[in-house]
Structure 1
Amino acid sequence: MVRYLVFIAIAIIIATLGVSLYGWYRHLRDDDDIY
């Protein structure tokens, strides 16, 4: 059970980091579109 919870926590952390890095990368790429 503990192993399952740890796996879920790691998956959430990886997903959060992935979304943050993707958003940051898109922001860097789309610097021209700032209003």
Structure 2
Amino acid sequence: MPLSKPRRFPNDLQFRSLRLHHTVQHCLLRERLLL
């Protein structure tokens, strides 16, 4: 079980980064529609 955690961490970080990027893109698109 302990070995599973470090292996999962990079994927989790990548997922977080992707999620953040998606949120930023969504906000920009929303701004564009409002303007």
Instruction: Give the TM-score taking structure 2 as reference length.
Output: 0.78
Structure 1 runs not aligned, ≥5 long: 31-35
In the TM superposition, what whole-angstrom CA distance separates every residue of 1:1-35 from its partner, at most 9, and x where no partner exists?
A: 111101100000000000001000001001xxxxx
- Give the fraction of aligned pairs with identical amino acids, expressed as a percent: 10
Instruction: Give the TM-score taking structure 1 as reference length.
Output: 0.78
The count of residues paired between Structure 1 and Structure 2 equals 30
Structure 2 runs not aligned, ≥5 long: 1-5
